[in-house]
Chain A
Amino acid sequence: MEREVSDSDFRLFVKTVRQYSKYDFSDYSDKSLKRMVGKVIADKKTDINRLVRDISNYSDYLESIINKVTVNTTELFRDPSVWKFLRKKVLPGLKTWSTINIWHAGCSTGQEVYSMLILLNEAGLFDRARVIATDINSEVLKVARSGKYRYRFNKGYLENFDLVVGRSRDKSTGAANVPYSRYLDVDEERDIISIKPFLLEKPVFKKHDLVAGEVSYPGKFDLIICRNVVIYFNHSLQNRIFEMFCNNLHPGGILVIGSHETIASPVSDRFIRTGHAYKKPGIF
């Protein structure tokens, strides 16, 4: 049950990973990662010495371990109140822009990427959006690209959809509700929720380690969504990442973080906060 590794074993793991790969976990918040490393050791019925020996000898094994220790969960419209806020208060402000450049940093299995695309489509902004979605974990990116999720375990997705989108008047048909079937196919028998192909085609999913810095992209972003990702980093790394986000936003661009995350001073001085959105001040 309690599988956290000791401090010294954990340091050995971090040091070995840093030595034999481009990944640096030194500034991760230790609690979760210690547990995940402990879990890997238990699942693989190995011990820390064999683990570090094997990751230093086989780079694809190292990669598979990275994929195991960096898995985190996400949902379609996780925190409906945040998505309602984005829909009502943030998206209307993007309507004057000809292109909307969006970066989902740490997108995991992609549910929030599709949540945003649904909102953009409802707002009539879908065609103008250019979306890049990144994660350190190549396995979660495969799931994200497929846009297929378990149904029975995730019935909450449909409730969330209703709270954020479904209960509003359908602008295209005039009907009282927006049906989820516009965006999702539900196959109860096979236990699958699938994202519709027109949504799948939009985002470019790409492997990228936030700790390593900026993502390569032609130009800056209008919207950066990074929710429940930096909670895995220590305080100083969080500050560095938020600063990097600020530098990668256009003036007037917006950063959206998790509902229990905060940007600390002095980096917070570079943003104007409204609800869950941090805006980089515009030129005027």
Chain B
Amino acid sequence: MYKAIIIGGSAGSFQVVARILNALNSDFPVPVLLILHRLKHVRSGFVEALSIKSSIPVREPDDKDYIRPGFAWLAPSNYHLFVELGNRFALSTEPQVNHSRPSIDLSFFSAAKAYRQDLAGIILSGANRDGAGGLKMVGDMGGTTIVQDPNECQVPVMPLESMKITKVQHVYNTEQIIRFFKKIQGNAQI
């Protein structure tokens, strides 16, 4: 049973994330962490736009919030998001990493260390290298690694970079990613 699922995405990932969140049951049993690159000042509309499609509430965590299931936790723009000891989030305004804040790598590193084999990491469409190192770490710590099928991605660079540096366990299109979530939902009900 997973303790968290963490998703990293950039250009071309919004629709995919929206479809995944839309397909979940409202009692989805595992916290979903969303680390998405977005424009710094387009802040307000993003949560609302995702919420409209999502079956579970989308929240930007405050610093030291508990990481609870039942929510999609979206990394606030212009902050890095970490998973801390004690199952809490921590935010930081350290300099950008790979021109990104939030940095997908940093969030994936901290989640991988906190949850180890109980984490699934998913890298979606995107135009840069952020997230590749993070996904590798998820795999190295015993977690499940998934990338969106590059053939389906609007911008395939992020999944391809991930596949270059680590042996990704699953290459899924959006439908298959949704099936992965449904299976978690189903397992929880047994």
Contact = CB atoms under 8 A, between A and B. Distances in A.
B64 A74 contact: no
Contact of A2 (B40, B43, B63, B133): B133
B71 interface: no
A1 B64 contact: no
Given A238-B64, A261-B63, A159 B41 contact: yes
Interface stretch (A26-34, A124-132, A199-207): A26-34
Interface stretch (B12-20, B50-58, B76-84): B76-84
Contacts of B113: 4
A72 B85 CA distance: 22
A80 interface: yes
Contacts, number: 77
Given A1-B105, A238-B64, A156 B79 contact: no
B172 interface: no
A260 B113 CA distance: 24
Nearest to A74: B93
Contact of A260 (B44, B63, B83, B94): B63
Interface in B78-126: 78-80, 82-86, 88, 90-95, 105-106, 109-110, 113
A231 B93 contact: yes
B109 A2 contact: yes
Nearest to A1: B133
A78 B25 CA distance: 37
A73 interface: yes
B109 A260 contact: no
Interface in A8-47: 29-32, 35-36
A73 B137 contact: no
B95 A73 contact: yes
A72 B41 contact: no
A268 interface: no
Contacts of A259: 76
A32 B109 contact: no
A262 interface: yes
B92 A72 contact: yes
Interface in B125-175: 133, 137
